[in-house]
Amino acid sequence: MAIEKMLLLNLVGSLDEEHAILQQLVLLENIHLNLEHSDVYDHNYMVHEYETMLSSEGTHTPENYGELEQQYNTLANTILEVANDLDIDLEIDKSNITSYSLSDAQQDLKRITDRIKPSIEIIKEKRIQIKELQAFQEKIQYIYEKIDFSEVTDLHYFEYEIGLLSRDNKLHIKRNYENISALIFRIGTIEEARENIYIAFYLKELKDETQRILKSLSWHPIHVPENLIGDIDKVRQTIKEKIALLESEIVSLEADIIENKEEIMLLLNRIHTRVKIEQKILEVKRQIIDGNNVFVLNAWIRKKDKEKLEQAILEITDQYFMIFKTTDEVGKELVPPTVLNNNWFIKPFETIVKLYGLPSYSEVDPTPFLAITFCLMFGIMFGDIGQGLVYFLAGVVVFRKNELVRGVLSRLGISSIAFGFIYGSIFGIETVPILEKIALVHGGPLNENNILPILLTGVIFGVVVLTVSFVLGIINYLRKGDIEHGVFGKNGIAGYLFFISIVILALTMGNIIPVSVFVPVGIMLSTFIIMIFKEPLTNLIQGNTPLVEGDKSSYFVESGFEGLETILSSLSNLISFIRIGAFALNHAGLFLAFIKMSQMVESVILKIFILILGNLLILTLEGLIVFIQGLRLQYYEMFSKYFSGDGITYNPVKI
């Protein structure tokens, strides 16, 4: 349970084998290109050093990346167009892809398009015709006038047009009827759209003027398909027959394609995979250095992938050199990407961590600590056997396809069940004899003897998790060599001593521990002064001058305010964790209210309904509130102590 160990790879290969090597790296999907400019490697020196060591058949002509990109994009668009035409979902197929060249893919694609394109074009045309007929069919169902299209089509001096007008625009026609160079008659009504269907007759020589006037009235013409004869009823029947005929012709044309669709789909996926590989290889080529005979690639790989990568390249060629450096050898000049590596129980909580930020490579992975503490927080605040079981079943049954929801919900459900046994509560009922015997909190959380201990439990829990948070923060700072913040800062050793002295002071004032009040007060004052002087103390220890950078008065004013903020945040941290106990009481109290409400009615059915409703509200609304409160404590009270979240996402090259 940690962050994956990374190695910096420097690969020098012969340009003769560049394409084959890059293809293998793309297929391995485990190299993260390092694009940082650094003096860790002198690439020019390496190019010259290995030019003579790695053989090459001759001088290589630089590739025109722009032309290649355009070529690959054209191929990709053609593949996508064919897939859409055949209703195929493209997939990556890596089987035997290394022996399948781009020229093979181009030839196969041409063969497919030559074979199906004529049929596809005809099918497209027929589908357009069907769409036009269906659009007209939808509109003419609202026509109630008996129109004979044979008569209106054969007019010598007049033309006609059918269209839609809103009822509001109908008034404009009435007001300006004398200015309209057409005869307009209503022939139908579309009630739900508040529109009317009209037919307009106009002289052929006044066509342009009439259409301009109609357009100004927001006239929406309805396209009338050609070769329609007879009255409106016959036209409706004709359209149905035409649509049926076109659909049967499409089925006939698709028969040959569908017969070989499986074969075409497999081949198209292979072509798609080859083009995707070429596009990715081109993307990598743009980010590496080429010499006359060799190329240099700089990338991060996971340490566990080292042997697999070496073996894969060795199977292709021996014209290469590989150098691996650990992060310790690289130093702080380059920042490795972060890959989280957690077990099955903790892994679902990685997403919650990433919502805040990704851990940097040098940080302690906060996921295990978050997973454990978050489950404990939720269990304490929402402890109930029955309701926890509902969450667990919802995770493993209802949300089984969503790994994040399933993983988090099922684990929170288990925690809720565990604390349900501690509280002796099942669906809010705390009087079950068997559970009363094994419950550690007798009488339920709302028992007067349990309220204060539960609230104090939240505070004690807070002190423990904040202590761990401080320790993790100190470790992270010291790993980076940051003495100022790791030792003297508010989240370092001085900050923790200040925080714990407040706890000791509270225990002393409550006569819980026999310690003089001057001890915690002395620690508080000492650590407060140390935090204010953290920069000069750090420079003094490290032998740096001046002790304070910039204006001294500004520094001390800023440090004073930071010290005041530390006092307030330390008190806030302790008080915030009281909410864990408070929500445990709230959980019990909320259901108690529903129990009292059910006791106020006489109907058994109504009693059951109230109890079920209470559980539903608690499971949804209160469950969500408790979840959010848990996140708040993690993000604002704990993460602020030890987690920066400025890591680089591991983004391996892959298709």
| CA–CA gap between residue 614 and residue 592 (Å, rounded) | 9
- pLDDT value at position 171? 67
- pLDDT value at position 47? 60
- Which residue is associated with the tokens 């906060």? 366
Which helix or strand (DSSP H or E) is residue 35 part of? none
Residue pair 570/498 in contact (Cβ under 8 Å)? The answer is yes
Q: How is the chain split into domains, by residue range?
A: 2-60+292-330, 147-230, 347-642
Name the pLDDT band for 44 (thresholds 50, 70, 90).
Answer: low
Asked if 2-60+292-330 and 147-230 have one fold, the answer is yes
Residue 220 CB neighbour total at 10 angstroms: 14
Using alpha carbons, select from 588, 642, 181 the residue that is nearest to residue 425.
588
- pLDDT value at position 200? 85
- pLDDT value at position 197? 86
What does the pLDDT look like over 408-457, one tens digit per residue?
999 999 999 999 999 989 988 888 888 888 888 887 788 888 888 899 89
What does the pLDDT look like over 127-180, one tens digit per residue?
888 888 888 888 888 888 888 777 777 777 888 888 888 777 766 666 666 667
Residue pair 47/294 in contact (Cβ under 8 Å)? The answer is yes
Strand 2-3 and strand 289-290: pairing? unpaired
- The SS3 of residue 610 is helix
| CA–CA gap between residue 330 and residue 337 (Å, rounded) | 14
Residue 165 CB neighbour total at 10 angstroms: 21
CATH architecture, domain defined by 147-230: 2-Layer Sandwich (3.30)
Entry pTM: 0.77
* CB burial readout 292-327, b (16+ within 10 A) else e: ebbbbbbbbbbeebbeebeebbeeebebbeeeeeeb
Using alpha carbons, select from 633, 359, 636, 642 the residue that is nearest to residue 492.
642
Query: How far, CA to CA in Å, does 26 sit from each of 13, 80, 94, 653?
Result: 15, 22, 11, 6
- pLDDT value at position 185? 84
Which helix or strand (DSSP H or E) is residue 452 part of? helix 451-479
Determine the average pLDDT of the residues in 390-413: 90
Residue pair 584/616 in contact (Cβ under 8 Å)? The answer is no
Residue pair 385/426 in contact (Cβ under 8 Å)? The answer is yes
Determine the average pLDDT of the residues in 578-585: 90
Instruction: Give the CATH fold of the 2-60+292-330 domain.
Output: Alpha-Beta Plaits (3.30.70)
Q: Quick one: what percent of the chain has pLDDT higher than 70?
A: 93
Determine the average pLDDT of the residues in 227-237: 79
Residue pair 381/630 in contact (Cβ under 8 Å)? The answer is yes
Residue 598 or residue 192, greater confidence: 598
DSSP 240: H
Peptide bond into 337 cis (omega under 30): no
